[in-house]
């Protein structure tokens, strides 16, 4: 493989990118065949080989998705089902076989929204300043990626499970086989993601099919316990069929449903599920006995996760974003939280959940109106991450963090270090047109925080240890003896057993939202 005016020969044909003197970029590279027709609701297949040099200067289509009310999401590309594409950024001096660390990004969005072409995930700054090859991936979302129709498979029509996970695995296999031609080292691939993307990361840590496809992992705000059983997945599938007016005996008609009709049905079910079952999502990975044999946190606790170094953590005020957006995705009212606990207790009677009195004692120092938000943060993100860290630390080094920094604007809005607010710091894209958080100032400090966190992420990708810049504190690996955690704020601080008060309430038990 060789680069000639940004032309790289891949396993399926040559692609031509662009070089602006700072970075080389290839966009919209197909890593799987178009998932349409007979391949809709099926595992991804390799693409057909092309003979002409393919143009890789424009982003490929984003997966079709409904709009988010009051929050326009800039996807950076039109929406079409032919969306299994990836994008690559490399420093301008990169040569084939250059052996640079590779960072593969899986975007978030509740398994329903987003794309690898969102302006927020422009890999230019991260690749150039970190001397790494950056890859962003599109995978199928919502009903197209996480609707499980496999229980309806028949001789007439076969459906696959965990399609979105299979897409991520296909992209990682493409990276393994081709990234050397773009200057990357296939033996030093770091898989990283946020929110649902981090959920895929923590799920793939429990997936044998992912073995050897990445050497390190970073999970930012992973909903690690939002993995359900086939029974719940079947109920969601039945709801979708009902919205589409299709009898289960005619399920072979689903692949023929127009995209717009499928999106409308998926949006209705997506909105209804967390209202009736607080704390749950309609479309998530499932324990299918094939791609995933058991719950990721459970497998980690049993020492059966992939033994790769892991950075995992959350933001201090995760649930505040959902309160600001008035989103039902996260239970942030006492009634919703109580309903969630009651459902968990009914499904898992042997699980020791905190009582209302116990929660009141732990959160007594938190202002009353913030208490439900804090509890929602803990149950949705923090404790699942801590549980996974506990288990995974038995097989590989784990580095636990909490992102606490917030700008003056975010403090004024009372969201502070809310869900997803760390993203522009990781990517180095602070203050751009899609990041309004610096409008009330704070740019100097924010950019310093960004440089520090990017240094640690890149060093982890390069060497497996999140070493900071000169003068920054050492970030020790997490263990159950002292539970060290890096607090990322105006300055980095290493704290011991930061979550002791939360663990005391939850009794160290693992909650699995089935």
DSSP 239-259: HHHHHHT--GGGGGGGGGS-H
Say yes or no to pLDDT of 52 above 90: yes
Q: Which residues are catalytic?
A: 195, 318, 419
CB atoms within 10 A of CB 16: 16
The pLDDT tens digits for 103-123 are 999 999 999 999 999 999 999
The pLDDT tens digits for 7-46 are 999 999 999 999 999 999 999 999 999 999 999 999 999 9
> Rounded distance, CA 133 to CA 461, Å?
10
User: Helix 163-178 to helix 196-204 angle, to the nearest 10 degrees?
Assistant: 70
Position 436 scores a pLDDT of 87
> Rounded distance, CA 282 to CA 443, Å?
38
Say yes or no to pLDDT of 490 above 70: yes
Phi-psi region of 431 (alpha: psi -120 to 50; beta: other; left: phi over 0): left
CA-based end-to-end distance of the chain:
47
Residues β-bridged to residue 217: 191, 310
Position 433 scores a pLDDT of 75
The CATH number that domain 7-506 falls under is 3.40.50.1820
Position 457 scores a pLDDT of 98
Kindly indicate the confidence band of residue 355, based on its pLDDT and cuts at 50, 70 and 90: low
Say yes or no to pLDDT of 352 above 70: no
The pLDDT tens digits for 293-350 are 999 999 999 999 999 999 999 999 998 877 766 666 666 666 666 666 565 555 444 4
Kindly indicate the confidence band of residue 252, based on its pLDDT and cuts at 50, 70 and 90: very high
Compute CA distances 220 → 14, 312, 378, whole Å.
34, 6, 14
> Strand 310-315 relative to strand 133-137: parallel, antiparallel, unpaired?
unpaired
Position 513 scores a pLDDT of 37
Reading the block at residue 92, the tokens are 């301008």
The pLDDT tens digits for 431-458 are 877 788 999 999 999 999 999 999 999 9
Position 502 scores a pLDDT of 81
Determine contact, residues 316/404, Cβ cutoff 8 Å.
yes
Query: Phi and psi (nearest 5°) for 71?
Result: -135, 85
Position 380 scores a pLDDT of 80
Kindly indicate the confidence band of residue 71, based on its pLDDT and cuts at 50, 70 and 90: confident
Determine contact, residues 292/166, Cβ cutoff 8 Å.
no
Reading the block at residue 408, the tokens are 């003056």
| Tokens 């607010």, located at residue | 421
Q: What is the pTM of this model?
A: 0.93
Say yes or no to pLDDT of 510 above 60: no
Taking the C-alpha atoms of 235, 240, 246 and 248 in order, what is their torsion angle to the nearest 10 degrees?
-20
> Rounded distance, CA 164 to CA 144, Å?
8
Residue 270: DSSP 8-state: H
> Rounded distance, CA 486 to CA 84, Å?
36
């Amino acid at each position: 493989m060789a680069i000639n005016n940004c032309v790289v020969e891949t396993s399926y044909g040559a692609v031509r990118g662009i070089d602006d003197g700072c970075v080389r970029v290839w966009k919209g590279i197909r890593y799987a065949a178009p998932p349409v027709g007979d391949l809709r609701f099926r595992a991804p297949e390799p693409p057909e080989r092309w003979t002409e040099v393919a143009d890789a200067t424009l982003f490929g289509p984003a997966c079709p998705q409904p709009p988010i009310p009051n929050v326009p999401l800039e996807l950076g590309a039109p929406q079409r089902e032919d969306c299994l594409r990836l994008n690559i950024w490399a420093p301008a001096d990169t040569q084939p076989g250059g052996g640079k660390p590779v960072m593969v990004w899986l975007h978030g969005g509740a398994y329903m929204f987003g794309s690898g072409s969102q302006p927020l995930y422009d890999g230019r700054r991260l690749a150039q300043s970190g001397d790494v090859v950056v890859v962003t991936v599109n995978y199928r979302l919502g009903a197209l990626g996480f609707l499980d129709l496999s229980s309806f498979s028949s001789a007439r029509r076969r459906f696959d499970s965990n399609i979105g996970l299979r897409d991520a695995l296909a992209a990682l296999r493409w990276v393994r086989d081709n990234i050397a031609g773009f200057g990357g080292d296939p033996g030093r691939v770091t898989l990283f993601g946020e929110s649902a993307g981090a959920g895929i990361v923590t799920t793939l840590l429990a997936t044998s099919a992912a073995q050897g496809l990445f050497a390190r992992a970073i999970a930012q705000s992973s909903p690690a316990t939002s993995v359900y059983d086939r029974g719940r997945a079947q109920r969601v599938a039945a709801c979708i069929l009902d919205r589409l007016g299709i009898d289960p005996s005619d399920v072979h008609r689903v692949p023929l449903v127009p995209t717009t009709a499928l999106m409308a049905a998926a949006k209705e079910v997506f909105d209804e599920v967390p209202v009736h079952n607080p704390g749950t999502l309609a479309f998530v990975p499932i324990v299918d006995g094939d791609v995933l044999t058991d719950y990721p946190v459970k497998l980690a606790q049993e020492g059966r996760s992939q033994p790769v170094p892991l950075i995992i953590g959350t933001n201090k005020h995760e649930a505040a974003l959902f309160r600001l957006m008035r989103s039902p995705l996260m239970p942030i009212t006492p009634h919703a939280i109580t309903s969630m606990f009651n459902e968990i207790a009914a499904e898992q009677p042997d699980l020791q959940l905190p009582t209302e009195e116990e929660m009141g004692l732990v959160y007594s120092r938190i202002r009353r109106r913030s208490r439900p938000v804090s509890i929602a943060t803990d149950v949705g993100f923090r404790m699942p991450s801590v549980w996974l860290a506990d288990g995974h630390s038995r097989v590989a080094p784990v580095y636990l963090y909490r992102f606490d920094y917030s700008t003056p604007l975010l403090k004024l809005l009372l969201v502070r270090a809310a869900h997803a607010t760390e993203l522009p710091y990781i990517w180095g894209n602070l203050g751009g047109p899609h990041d309004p958080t610096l409008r009330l100032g704070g740019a100097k400090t924010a950019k310093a925080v960004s440089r520090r966190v990017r240094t640690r992420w890149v060093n982890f990708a390069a060497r497996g240890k999140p070493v900071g810049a000169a003068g920054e504190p050492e970030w020790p690996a997490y263990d159950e003896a002292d539970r060290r955690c890096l607090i990322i704020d105006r300055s980095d601080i290493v704290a011991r057993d930061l979550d002791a008060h939360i663990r005391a309430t939850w009794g160290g038990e693992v909650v699995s939202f089935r």
